[in-house]
Amino acid sequence: MERMALISDVHGNLTALEAVLADIDRRGITRVLNLGDYVGKGPRGREVVELCRQRCEVNLLGNWDDFLPDPARTYDNEALQWWLAQLAPGQGEWLRALPFCHDFWLSGRRVRLFHASEETVHRRVRYVRTQEEFEGLFANTAATIDAVGEGPVPDLIGYADTHDPLYECQLEGRTTFNTGAVGNCMGDPTPMYCILEGEVGSQEKAPWSVSFARVPYDVEAELAVAREMGLPHYDGYELELRHGIYRGALDEWRAGTRPDDYHERTL
C-alpha cells in the first residue's frame, strides 16, 4: 500500500500551503500531486508556484493558471493586473503548459485527476449537479486524449475547482471525489487535502481508500501579508479565509444576511 497526497486551489495562500505540506511530511507521505489553481485571489502566487514546482511530482492545469497569464488577453481589471504582476519571469508560460489531466492505476481502478471537468478547466461540476454531468466526468474527451491518450475509461475521478469537498459512488463502482481547497475552502475555511492509498500502478483488485485531512494554520499571518502587500479585494479575501464564505457574498455579509446559495455562485 502506498499513499499520495492530492492538493488543489492554493490560490496564492502560501501560509496555508506550507502548513499542509508540513502535515503531509509528518504523515510520512512523499508523493504530492497538485490539481491546479496556484495563483489569483491570494497575494503570493509567485512563491506558491516555486514551492509546488519543488514539492509536487505532478502539477495540473487550473482555470486561473490558464487565463491569468494568457498573452492573448489584455486586462483593464486592476486586480487581475496585480495578480499577474506577482508572477516571476517564465512562471506564466510554465503554468499554461501544465497537463490537463493525469491517469494511473490504483488497486485495479483507473484513476483520472483533473481540475474542473472532463472537457475544460473553465467548466466546473458542482456538488449540486445533474446526472449527465456526473456521468460525463468519466468520458474520454478531446482534452483528456490530448493529455494522456485514448486509454481505458476511468472509474475513479478526482477533481477540484469548487473549493467544496465531496465523495460519491454510483452503479458500476464509478466513484468521484473532490479535494476541497488548500487556499480558501468554502463552508469550513480550514485548508483541506486528500490522501489516496492503494496499490499504485496495479491493475489487480486490492484495497484502496480516499480520505480527507484538514489542517489549521495561521490565518492572521496570511492576512497580515495580504495587507502589507496591498492585495486587491482584501475584504473578500478576508471573508473567505475567516468564514469560508465566497467573496461574491461580501455585500450580503456586511448587511447581516447569511448567504445560502454558494453552490449556485461563480467562483
Question: What pLDDT does residue 129 have?
Answer: 83
What distance in Å separates the CA atoms of residue 237 and residue 241, rounded to the nearest whole number?
A: 6
Give Cβ neighbours of residue 74 (< 8 Å, ≥ 6 apart): none
pLDDT tens for 198-241 read: 999 999 999 999 999 999 999 999 999 999 999 999 999 999 99
What distance in Å separates the CA atoms of residue 112 and residue 174, rounded to the nearest whole number?
A: 12
Quick one: how far is CA 93 from the chain centroid? 19
What distance in Å separates the CA atoms of residue 248 and residue 251, rounded to the nearest whole number?
A: 8
Superfamily for 2-214?
Metallo-dependent phosphatases (3.60.21.10)
pLDDT tens for 20-61 read: 999 999 999 999 999 999 999 999 999 999 999 999 999 999
Confidence band, pLDDT 50/70/90 cuts, at residue 262: low
**Three-state secondary-structure class, residue 207:** coil
Confidence band, pLDDT 50/70/90 cuts, at residue 1: very high
Rounded (5°) CA angle 89-65-10: 100
Give the closest residue to 24 by CA, choosing from 70, 59, 55: 55
DSSP code per residue over 27-45:
TT---EEE-S--SSSSS-H
DSSP code per residue over 130-154:
-HHHHHHTTS--HHHHHHH-S-PPP
Confidence band, pLDDT 50/70/90 cuts, at residue 19: very high
Q: Do residues 87 and 34 lie in contact, with contact meaning Cβ atoms separated by under 8 Å?
A: no
Question: What pLDDT does residue 264 have?
Answer: 58
Phi, psi of 209 (to 5 degrees): -155, 155
What distance in Å separates the CA atoms of residue 164 and residue 182, rounded to the nearest whole number?
A: 11
Question: What pLDDT does residue 130 have?
Answer: 87
CB atoms within 10 A of CB 70: 14
Find the mean pLDDT for residues 175-184: 97
Find the mean pLDDT for residues 73-95: 95
pLDDT tens for 92-141 read: 999 999 999 999 999 999 999 999 999 999 999 987 788 999 999 999 99
Instruction: Name the packing angle between helices 219-229 and 234-243 (round to 10°).
Output: 180
Cell triple for 88: 516571476
Question: What pLDDT does residue 258 have?
Answer: 78
